[in-house]
Chain A
């Protein structure tokens, strides 16, 4: 069993129809798992389900062997999950440093070391630490969002389309940073629109279609798979 194992997840929003059906996702420490698929495939929904923002009608989620299927999102943060939402993922009126402090809000211990780690990972944030996050560029904002999630020193970091709306250069930079974070032993689960680039850094890749797993393999194997390339990567 992997560090994070979600199996047979089925559920939707409120009383609405199931968006994901029997969806399996797993990731181990130090690995990068990438979920790709067409629009409306339920990628973000699957991630929200893993984070507890969606009530599952069937399936289980375990973290480090412990069943957390019914745990509230806040509790999951305390238990080592970090989540970076796709939109509205920074406090725009607060400074970069205050954003990081808010990331560490649930911590009662000294978090200065973690903040130092974040600043070392994203040097530009140190330069701009007294600027409101709302004044930063899109790429820098994503760095703040990732940094904020890292402040709880999570064992699993989940990113919902971290490269949405940033330039290709910034995207490459962000992916480099994500690889760097994974090397420190953190498990990374990421939903991505830029499927090809994301699969290049993925240890595991999941192709979701209509709420269920269509292909599951290593990132490399998925990129080599002719059918995946034709259907989802544009040839």
Chain B
């Protein structure tokens, strides 16, 4: 019974939240990895692209809520998501046309490219703050829980319970659908194979008749879709605040590099490894250990390895460790030159 209580505690505070967070990071890392595979640079503007898509989704959500439109018990944001995606696709294609294409045509050095993307990041971040402001925005509605801690306790008779929030389930389901669609596209369709070929060897792909502008355009469209979905799910699950999207770049880059740059499967793996590391390292194990130890015993301290204020240090350590020990990542990917 004590063991079950301990497990329930761990599931509630570590496993369930980490799975949802991992799915969000995986979607973000997929976008970064895709752009790296095709355009061969680390896109620092990816966080702001997520933010832009999410902001658009929120604005449409508010408008829908004003109009009294609802798909309760599901959050209205899901209904607004396609519009948010369209908006993110538009801004991604616009920045590509206005900025990135110029450098891509000249085969610019990846470092130059990355710095250019930092510039795009600042411009987008500024625009976003002008439109929606720098503050926290609330847009989640619909049912909050699939089941609560109390429900769980009543059904199982345990002291500890597991709560399952609706947003967590939606996150995982939507992420699964999006990832399945992405892999189907990359593996089965002509355009998807052309993208993989272009990512594998640009010259040989050109020789085969692949149109580079088309490949780049599709890559941006997919990236914008992934970014908006990731940002919106993160916003529903936690909160929307423009500043977060600068911070979240770190775990997303860590996930991308850990998984192997340019490797979609690696991005997903990396997303979950980083999420679990972050949540596990910042969780206070006091109560958990108390259940496992002798009766009426508890550790004196919180048994928390790292305060949550420092959670980004986890990503940073992973990033540095991977770059030092295995720069190609788990699934052998490209190495940033």
Residues of A within 8 A of B (CB): 73-74, 77-78, 83, 85, 88-94, 98, 101-103, 105-106, 148
Using Cβ atoms and an 8 Å threshold, which residues of chain B touch A93?
A: 196, 199-200
With A93-B196, A94-B197, A98-B193 in contact, is A105–B203 under 8 Å at CB?
no
Q: Which 7 A-B pairs have the closest CB atoms?
A: A106-B209, A91-B200, A105-B208, A93-B200, A105-B209, A102-B208, A102-B197
Q: Is the CB of A88 within 8 A of B206?
A: no
Whether B89 is near chain A, meaning CB under 8 Å from some CB there, is: no
A30→B125 CA distance, assembly (Å): 63
Using Cβ atoms and an 8 Å threshold, which residues of chain A touch B204?
A: 85, 88-91
With A101-B193, A102-B193, A105-B194 in contact, is A92–B200 under 8 Å at CB?
yes
The contact string, 1 if C-beta is below 8 Å from chain A, for chain B 174-204, is 0000000000000000100110110111011
With A98-B193, A101-B193, A105-B194 in contact, is A88–B201 under 8 Å at CB?
yes
A102→B204 CA distance, assembly (Å): 10
With A94-B193, A94-B196, A98-B193 in contact, is A73–B207 under 8 Å at CB?
yes
Kindly report which residue of chain A lies nearest to residue B203, judged by CB atoms: A88
Using Cβ atoms and an 8 Å threshold, which residues of chain A touch B203?
A: 85, 88
Residues of B within 8 A of A (CB): 190, 193-194, 196-197, 199-201, 203-210
A103→B203 CA distance, assembly (Å): 13
Using Cβ atoms and an 8 Å threshold, which residues of chain A touch B209?
A: 74, 77-78, 105-106
Q: Is the CB of B201 within 8 A of A91?
A: yes
Q: Is the CB of B193 within 8 A of A83?
A: no
Could you write out 13 A-B pairs with CB less than 8 Å apart? Answer: A74-B207, A78-B209, A83-B207, A88-B201, A88-B203, A92-B200, A93-B196, A93-B200, A98-B193, A102-B205, A105-B197, A106-B208, A148-B208
Q: Is the CB of A94 within 8 A of B200?
A: yes
Using Cβ atoms and an 8 Å threshold, which residues of chain A touch B205?
A: 91, 102
Using Cβ atoms and an 8 Å threshold, which residues of chain B touch A106?
A: 208-209
User: Other than the known A83-B207, A91-B204, A94-B197, what 6 A-B pairs have Cβ atoms closer than 8 Å?
Assistant: A77-B207, A85-B204, A88-B204, A91-B205, A102-B205, A102-B210
